[in-house]
Structure 1
Amino acid sequence: MEGLYEEAGAYWPLLINVLQALVFLIVGWVVASAASGLVRRRVERSPRIDDTIGGFFASMVKWLILAVVLIAVLQLFGFQATSLVAVLGAATLAIGLALQGTLSDLAAGVMLMAFRPYRIGQYVDIDGTAGTVKDFNLFMTELVTPDNVQIIMPNGKAWGAVITNFSAHATRRLDLTFNIDYDDDADKAMKMITDLAGKDERVHDDPAPWVRLVNLGESSVDLGVRLWCSAADYWDLKFDMTKRVKEAFDKGGVTIPYPHSVEIQKKAS
């Protein structure tokens, strides 16, 4: 019995270290999450700091605290700081080979943060995937589509793709095309469109609205329209102008044609 007690007693220090390690890990995770959330909230409250930077630094704070906790846990089991450096060096090489994609995403995240081709809240198209940037951290970019679908994109893919940012500038140019019949008065139709654009407060005066006859199609005369507006008004202005021009054409007797064929009969001589 005494031998059993002595053998069980020999495991007590190891058991205590394991329990301490678990406590360290749990407390470290809670502290890291709390610190990350605190950084994010502080950034969101400050009008001088971009929300994108907040998400990036919040992610960095979390992983740095977890790294410190992991080193402290290893020291509980007898690993010295100098030994940890050697172990971490070898582990870094092994992890780097095993997680090339993840490290690539990390490096891409740093580059995206440095050059900032997009920010949180902006509407972007990344390699054919469009949505509003909801979150951005060390490893991924989260987009939300207009129909509220979540898209998680690795930063490595985002950095290596063509990025179209629709919200980068305060103003945008709205291009519209309206078709009228060959028998209609093109000048009259263009004046109707110009008048409608001038009455809409969302249309900017500089550059001035541009309305021109741009093409003679197979079934219609094509009128091109270019209007400058605030980026936030782009879609509403597009839909409203399309509806108002249609109503004005109907009221003013301007015909919007549809594709058709004309049969020509020739009599034999």
Structure 2
Amino acid sequence: MQEFFEQLDINQYVPAAIEFGTNILLAIVILIIGFWIAGRISGAIRGLGEKYQKLDDTLFRFLGSIARYVVLAFVFIAVLNRFGVQTTSIVALLGAAGLAVGLALQGALSNLSAGVLLLIFRPYKVGDFVDAAGKFGKVTEIDLFTTIMQTFDNQQIIIPNGQIWGEQIVNHSHHSVRGVDMHFGIAYDEDIDKAKAVIMEVLDAHEHVLKDPAPFVEVETLNDSSVDFLVRPFCDGAHYFDILYSVPEQVKKALDKAEIEIPFPHRKVIMFKGD
């Protein structure tokens, strides 16, 4: 046994051991620096969302996480490269795996991309009343995949962002002052000026109708059996539905009190008596 160790030239393994140890130390240094850089980049991106109130925190937390994982991916590739591992095949494999996952999750990725765009361009925010994807309600939550609404009858609606983005979005809360369009008809025999005065009295007496801008009351259409008015009072956005659901009843009562006829559709039939 002693002769075996005497014949064994330990010096030939010293360079390999030194190289291996150096690679381990360098790998540790790369990991430490890589994790530090990944954390700094992620924190900087998240800090943008916290610094500016108009930017959405959810989006920047997501982007910060993505940036961190991208940096760490390059860090691990660099570590493997230090030990002589051929990383080209690994990168190709990761690319193929990413493509396969992307094809399998097309719907989810579509919602994700739409969610990112919604959070960037912010066509609506939490608390707004919106009409989107054929649904109307108050926005209670916006995340990267869905928008959650609360309806007036207290139902929760969860809409995938992919169904919202690219379609018409009506934000009823964007402007602080809203106009409320309503239509009322009177008979052709009635006095138009008198009817306008009655409607204006109702609007002037309503507590939520603004004086500036002034309410709009004008004849819009001459229908087959009625003269139709377009009535547009203005109000603060919070009182939109108070106006919409209270004024018609008040106008009806005021027109009845003024003995102004509100016609209903009718048809005149002329009959000829034969010989």
Deviations 1:169-221 (A, max 9, x none): 11111111111122221111100111221222322223211111222222222
2:177 aligned with 1:167: no
- In structure 2, the partner of 1:104 is 110
**Contact 1:177-1:224 at 8 Å conserved across structures:** yes
**Alignment TM-score, normalising by the size of structure 2:** 0.66
- In structure 1, the partner of 2:158 is 152
Query: One-letter code of the match for 2:151?
Result: T
Deviations 1:106-126 (A, max 9, x none): 222211111111111111122
Deviations 1:43-67 (A, max 9, x none): 8xx9x836x8244456667x66x97
Q: Pick the aligned partner of 1:229 from 231, 235, 248.
A: 235
- Which piece of structure 1 moves more, 204-213 or 90-99? 90-99
**Contact 1:55-1:135 at 8 Å conserved across structures:** no
Name stretches of at least 5 consecutive residues in structure 1 with no aligned partner: 1-38
- In structure 2, the partner of 1:53 is 56
**Contact 1:108-1:156 at 8 Å conserved across structures:** yes
**Contact 2:56-2:120 at 8 Å conserved across structures:** no
Taking the aligned partners of 2:80 and 2:160, their CA distance within structure 1 comes to 34
2:202 aligned with 1:196: yes
Name stretches of at least 5 consecutive residues in structure 2 with no aligned partner: 1-45
2:123 aligned with 1:117: yes
Taking the aligned partners of 2:130 and 2:243, their CA distance within structure 1 comes to 20
- In structure 2, the partner of 1:141 is 147
Residue 153 of structure 1, CA deviation? 1.9
Give the 3-state SS of the residue equivalent to 2:196 in structure 1. helix
Taking the aligned partners of 2:201 and 2:80, their CA distance within structure 1 comes to 77
Give the 3-state SS of the residue equivalent to 1:206 in structure 2. coil
Give the 3-state SS of the residue equivalent to 1:208 in structure 2. coil
* Larger of the two Rg values belongs to structure: 2
**Alignment TM-score, normalising by the size of structure 1:** 0.67
**Contact 1:215-1:223 at 8 Å conserved across structures:** yes
Identity of aligned residues (%): 42
Taking the aligned partners of 1:54 and 1:249, their CA distance within structure 2 comes to 53
Query: One-letter code of the match for 2:56?
Result: I
CA RMSD between the two structures: 3.3
Paired residue total: 216
